[in-house]
Structure 1
């Protein structure tokens, strides 16, 4: 049916061309890709090239690991190319994605239950979706982490450029981050890369006062890890401080008061990130009758029962130096203690510099990890503390020797942790 008025009809016999025929021809995919790449700053492209190089390096390490460190001595055939990446928590996520949380009526009441409800559903659901395109489960997980890691490191470098005076600060932050001791977990089938792919753009949106975007991205982060709630608290505090400052700057000015009220009207967005964890708790309650089933699964499977911070420190110290564990696990506990000290020092620096939201984020993470029976996964959690990597980059800009010293220590440690994980031993 023509939308033209009667006086503007075309001559008889000549059809009215549909709107689609007047539209510009579709741009080829290659052209769209080149145009998207052109929007990246030179510093962004440098960061992504270095990211790609580190992924290649990790692939080479995994190849040598499967030949040099077989699970059984004397074997004459190496495991598959992807086998070194499917370790530990990656298996939990695979089982959830493949079978669901409670397959065939099994659950916490079943003998030998793996406590899979301790893991939030965001990553397993995405893994199942990608698996429909990538048939191999391990390859699907690696693809998720590869893409998410690129987004995360790019966002991290951009955040760093908002704090540091030079573009070099963003590149240097990315280098220190990608060569951090637990960097292997950004590449394997774990949640760190995916969480950061949501969390870091959320923080970048928040510092730019784009509260709706920050809330949506933080809500996505809370589907992946409980740490998303710590990010939500930090962004909520940043929102309050920003709104208060804007009102204070324009106090007594009618236009300023209206601007302040407009900022406060965005406050509802800060509640959005609570919805995914609430929905997950409701789902678990419907199947188990327990609103905190995910927390109780962590207690059963990973000794995350509440203990005072000093009790947790003492138990971890005994594990590290009390000759109660094998050497590998004793080293694990030593790394946990060191990571806790780094975290506490980071919080102290952030408080000294009045970076209240960032200090709150890291402090909540330390509280959650530092009040279990003993410390677990704190070294891996350092990947989520973006103020740490920006702070180290700032030190390297101030003292050029610091970068060399850091890389001289971090490079071998990073390689050893990667080998530890890829060969099926403890890591992170």
Structure 2
């Protein structure tokens, strides 16, 4: 992926007049178009899940498909379910796994919301899907508005959201994972920061840090944006608000310390369960390369390691282009994400992380807008990969 100089100049800040402080509470025509796209793609993923259940059952001799809950409730969903249902440290011996599952690695925002809503919905899987459905709608509307700030015009908002919704890992926005909920906090927070509503930006970013540690990367981007754009003494008084996003991780660390005596228990759980101990970036690249091409893993896993390498390369190019365009806050946000993911034993979940890099999708929208061939070429590449990754996930195979 590359952007030409004209595209870079198109998204470079040019000292605009002071932006309005209020975020539009009502849906305009662009928002409605975005939501229409969103609903169409939800139906497409539902159809993909249905077909996968019939075509790729766990038992090749099965005459009935797996349950819908089993098809959509794969991998990390079980961790969120166990936390929401039983807590991090269950007292009931029956709720304790025979082998500890390192559930402390997962931040509490999503499980707490599941626990709060489950009595109303009555089904855990349906609750997770409902949270992702509503949060994804909020995130897409916010992304469309971000794109219209960077790339003026309703069509660019639609284009950016479409590129996200048909991206290779888009399935994770629809299932019981945290990506949609995180974006539902992070993108409105960024919109608020662009309008210099620092209190709202800090509150929303604090919501993001309850969901994923990536919220701290967003908080760092807000600090950079504040330093670059704060214009008056009145705005400088808002600076302490930007410390608020650190509060949820501090409280969570305190909770874990009270139960384990380890203030960094969440980080150490990641190291035990997912090999996220610190390694140099070149060691992480080399280990992932060996896993992808060294024939030590079965072909489905090797293909996923290859996807990790591609996603890391895309992230590095994205950061380079953001630096070139002098979009320092967004560059800090993506760079911190890459540093966290690229300094482990090997790369893991980098393709999923691309969903959270909104500058990537606005940049791609600027690039594909320059001609129908670019747009068609990108969609012909992205849509099949999106279907393949969705089928991979719904059939119970590792999908990043």
Same fold (TM over 0.5): yes
Pick 1 or 2: higher relative contact order, CA cutoff 8 A, min separation 6: 2
- Specify the alignment match of 1:15 in structure 2: none
CA displacement at 1:262 relative to structure 2: 0.7
Which one of 303, 326, 342 corresponds to residue 298 of structure 2?
A: 326
Structure number with greater Rg is: 1
Residues 404-415 of structure 1 aligned to structure 2 (within 5 Å): 404-415=376-387
Aligned residues: 375
Runs of 4 or more off by more than 6 Å in structure 1? none
Matching of residue 231 in structure 1 with residue 203 in structure 2: no
Which one of 357, 369, 393 corresponds to residue 397 of structure 1?
A: 369
- Specify the alignment match of 1:130 in structure 2: 117
Q: 1:137, 1:285 → 2: CA distance?
A: 28
Which one of 97, 101, 126 corresponds to residue 84 of structure 2?
A: 97
Residues 287-326 of structure 1 aligned to structure 2 (within 5 Å): 287-326=259-298
Q: 2:68, 2:186 → 1: CA distance?
A: 31
Matching of residue 139 in structure 1 with residue 111 in structure 2: no
- Specify the alignment match of 1:273 in structure 2: 245
- Specify the alignment match of 1:23 in structure 2: none
Residues 14-413 of structure 1 aligned to structure 2 (within 5 Å): 39-104=26-91, 112-243=99-230, 246=231, 260-413=232-385
The two structures have a TM-score, normalised by structure 2, of 0.92
CA displacement at 1:81 relative to structure 2: 2.4
CA displacement at 1:399 relative to structure 2: 2.8
SS in 1 for 2:68: coil
Quickly say closer, same or farther: Cα 1:293–1:105, change in 2 above 3 A.
farther
CA displacement at 1:39 relative to structure 2: 3.3
Q: 2:360, 2:322 → 1: CA distance?
A: 10
SS in 1 for 2:374: helix
Cα RMSD between the aligned structures?
1.4
Q: Which runs of 5+ in 2 are unaligned?
A: 1-23
- Specify the alignment match of 2:20 in structure 1: none
Q: 1:267, 1:86 → 2: CA distance?
A: 41
Q: 1:209, 1:38 → 2: CA distance?
A: 17
- Specify the alignment match of 1:16 in structure 2: none
Q: Deviations over 1:87-117 (max 9, x none)?
A: 10001000000000001288xx986100000
SS in 1 for 2:59: coil
